[in-house]
Amino acid sequence: MTADGTAAKRRSTGKAKPDSPGLELLARMLEIRGVEDEVQRMFTQGLVRGTTHLCQGQEAVAVGVCAALREGDTMTCTYRGHGAVLAMGAQADAVFGEIMGKAKGLCGGKGGSMHLTDVAVGAYGAFAIVGAHLPITVGLAFASRYLGEDAVSVCFFGDGTTNIGAFHEALNLASLWKTPVIFVCENNLYGEYSPLRATTPIDRLADRAASYAMPGVVVDGNDVFAVIATAEQAVARARAGDGPTLIEALTYRQVGHSRSDPAKYRPAGELEEWLERDPILLLERKLIEDGVDETQIAELRGTVQQQVIDALERAKSWPEPELESRFEHVFA
Amino acid sequence: MSVTELTYRQAVARAIADEMEADDKVLLFGEDVGAAGGVFKATEGLYERFGSNRVLDTPISEQAIVGCAIGASLRGLKPVIEIMFADFAGVCFDQLGNELAKYRYMTGGQVTVPVTVRLANGAGGGFGAQHSQSVENWFLNIPGLTILTPGTPGDAYALLRAAIRDPNPVLYLEHKNLYNLSGPVSDDDLDVIGRAAIVREGSDITLVASQLMRHRALDAAELLAAENISAEVIDPRTMVPFDLETVQTSLAKTNHLICVQECSPGGSWGATLLSSLVSESLELFDAPPLLVGGDDTPIPYAGVLEAAWLPSPERIIDGVRRTLAY
């Protein structure tokens, strides 16, 4: 339960809401891209400790799936989770603040880049141990059923997770108990530094759903509208009490695994090929095809970029945590 | 309820039943805990009484069991889960040590995680090296976990009810060789977490021991009484948070102390206790404190070998003589 004992309610995000749904999706994706680009810069300025894992190129998965959710639904994600937490409605300044270890960061500076959590918007945690959050998401979803609610739980994870034990235990139990979970595998072709084919004997990760008697669906993870359509089906199935779905969203990590990885292992031309299919570019093209004015898109880009910069400046101005705060929250 | 005579195993089932009766957010799941009543029969009758929505059998999937309990607790449920043999904590160590223990802290207090994890602990039954360990020692160095080690039916009942009511993650260790022990059980005092019990008063030496060793320390104390040696026996009952004060008060009186534990010395609760006492209360000792424990080997299978591995009343008495003769 939340700190004050109340059920999580999607708070008003206070974020820019352009008039068309397509532009709103674009705004959310631009915000994630803008935040990730800034985090990358913050590293060079020494504003970020430890490591960070960025998701440029994968924005359509987080934004598309979260667009299929409603208030009361819950979400968990991985250490590459800045995008998913923002997509749920977390404020960019509190995200930046947490990444910089500030007192007003999402977790008071106790979590950092790999543990962004905002229970108030249904973002129940980002996890730094591969696979650990899959069973936890089954529990979040189990609780919905137990409490007689129809809320669903989404769990984002990478392709590498499908080889760890917790993945199999979680899918098995979720299907056995028909818990309302949407397992979203972001197949970005690399598990840390290793290409998928070096670690995994199958090509289609969605095939693994068959072992657990649940639907396994493959979707173009760079096409936000395709992601929404696929997620809506899985959400409807979960809400109706028919159990979980495994979605494999095909996408691409445009940057290295973490800040210390220049991703030199990528074959020549691969990045360029995927940049042609950048999810933001694809969405902008689609919007223009549908009659949205190019200047409107350019304006939106400027507005969102300015909001991201303002959020970063606010977070920079926030104080460091009080030293005594490190003793808080070990026990309730 | 007035004072009732129950076995340790019945006390466990009764505590769960009473909390399930009092709060419909309390539920139980684990391997064979439902229809089968638990492999140690410590959950017998709960499935029939509360039904399959609140008492659920799971696959053999310890990571899924612990993770599912964590997730459910985030939404306000109070899951009681069983990891059967405590040694199986090894297969869900990440869920216990990295997720359960740290969730509240890493989120800056956004969540509470009221999960009670029951594990069957301890040696003496011929189960061999992978079904006999006392795993409280594995978790001592992970802040965020409350660790309970009941040694009597009364403590088993009170500590389990307190664990389920506690807003924090609790590891509750049942000693599998105490399940048949009978004793008085009452709900008069459920505020027991963090409070040691003085189970026998004495003036010459303090014996600190939990679970099966508490009973062996008491046996040793009775035998020593025939020699006019007066041993005080303290059962910590709770490993985290540890009631150091009760031990220090006893030590101030006896000036001699032995810790009897069912595990190897390295990184153990007894080693931690001795370290704290030496740091904080060195002046109270008339002789060096002694750790009487299992050997520095895995727990062997053969009856004679396992018996030799476990501290016996005779080994405890030998330690007492050496300490007093110092």
pLDDT in tens, A125-155: 999 999 999 999 999 999 999 999 999 999 9
What is the pLDDT, as a whole number, of residue A16? 56
Question: For residue A241, is pLDDT > 50?
Answer: yes
Q: Could you give the C-alpha distances from B179 to B174, B183, B312, in angstroms and in order?
A: 8, 11, 19
Please, what is the Cα angle at B99 between B95 and B101, to 5 degrees? 105
What does CATH list as the number for B4-185?
Answer: 3.40.50.970
A17 band by pLDDT with thresholds 50, 70 and 90 = low
Q: What is the pLDDT of residues A168-204, one digit of tens each?
A: 999 999 999 999 999 999 999 988 889 999 999 999 9
Chain A to chain B Cβ contacts (< 8 Å): 157
Average pLDDT over residues A269-288: 96
Q: Are the C-beta atoms of residues B102 and B151 closer than 8 Å to each other? A: no
Q: What are phi and psi of A76, to 5 degrees?
A: -130, 160
Q: Which residues contact residue A122 at a Cβ distance below 8 angstroms, ignoring those fewer than 6 apart?
A: A8, A10, A69, A71, A72, A73, A74, A75, A88, A89
Indicate left, alpha or beta for B279 from its phi (over 0: left) and psi (-120 to 50: alpha).
alpha
CA distance A194 to A207: 21
Q: Using CB atoms within 10 A of its CB, is residue B98 exposed (0-12), middle (13-18) or buried (19+)?
A: middle
Single-letter amino acid code for the residue at A229:
A
Q: Could you give the C-alpha distances from B124 to B103, B160, B313, in angstroms and in order?
A: 35, 23, 14
Indicate left, alpha or beta for A281 from its phi (over 0: left) and psi (-120 to 50: alpha).
alpha
Taking contacts as CB-CB distances below 8 angstroms, the residues of chain B near A3 are 109-112
Give the percent of chain B with pLDDT over 90: 99
Residue with tokens 């396994």: A216
Considering only CB atoms, A169 lies closest to which of B53, B64, B99, namely B64
Q: What would the DSSP string read from start to end of B10-39?
A: HHHHHHHHHHHHH-TTEEEEETT-STT--T
Any catalytic annotation for residue B256? no
| Residue A64 three-state SS | helix
| Residue B203 DSSP symbol | S
Considering only CB atoms, A138 lies closest to which of B71, B104, B109, namely B71
Any catalytic annotation for residue B131? yes
Q: Of B19, B31, B82, B131, which residue is the catalytic one?
A: B131
pTM for this one? 0.95
Indicate left, alpha or beta for B299 from its phi (over 0: left) and psi (-120 to 50: alpha).
beta
Q: Of B62, B136, B232, B306, which residue is the catalytic one?
A: B62
Quick check: A103 contacting B, CB < 8 Å?
no
Taking contacts as CB-CB distances below 8 angstroms, the residues of chain A near B61 are 169, 172-173
Q: Which residues contact residue B131 at a Cβ distance below 8 angstroms, ignoring those fewer than 6 apart?
A: B85, B87
B68: nearest CA in chain A?
Answer: A139
Q: What would the DSSP string read from start to end of B85-134?
A: EGGGGGGGHIIIIIIITTHHHHTTTSB----EEEEEE--SSS--TTS---
Question: Cα B169 to the chain's mean position, in Å?
Answer: 14
Best residue in B75, B100, B102 to probe A by mutation, most A CBs within 10 Å? B75
Q: Using CB atoms within 10 A of its CB, is residue A298 exposed (0-12), middle (13-18) or buried (19+)?
A: exposed
CA distance A332 to chain B (A): 6
Torsion (CA) B218, B224, B228, B234 in degrees, nearest 10: -30
Q: Which residues contact residue A139 at a Cβ distance below 8 angstroms, ignoring those fewer than 6 apart?
A: B67, B68, B69, B70, B71, B72, B73, B74, B79
Tokens matching residue B194? 């963090």
What is the pLDDT, as a whole number, of residue A18? 67
A6 band by pLDDT with thresholds 50, 70 and 90 = very low
Quick check: B109 contacting A, CB < 8 Å?
yes
What is the pLDDT, as a whole number, of residue A5? 36
Identical fold between B4-185 and B197-324? yes
Torsion (CA) A173, B172, B84, B65 in degrees, nearest 10: 10
Q: Could you give the C-alpha distances from B76 to A173, A201, B163, B253, in angstroms and in order?
A: 20, 40, 15, 46
> What is the CATH architecture of B197-324?
3-Layer(aba) Sandwich (3.40)
Residue ranges of chain B whose pLDDT lies below 50? none
| Residue B80 three-state SS | strand
Question: Can you give the residue ranges of every domain in chain B?
Answer: 4-185, 197-324
Residues in chain B: 326
Domains of chain A (ranges, CATH numbers): 21-320 (3.40.50.970)
**Chain A contacts in chain B segment 152-171 (CB below 8 A):** 167-168
Taking contacts as CB-CB distances below 8 angstroms, the residues of chain A near B70 are 135-136, 139
| Residue A193 DSSP symbol | T
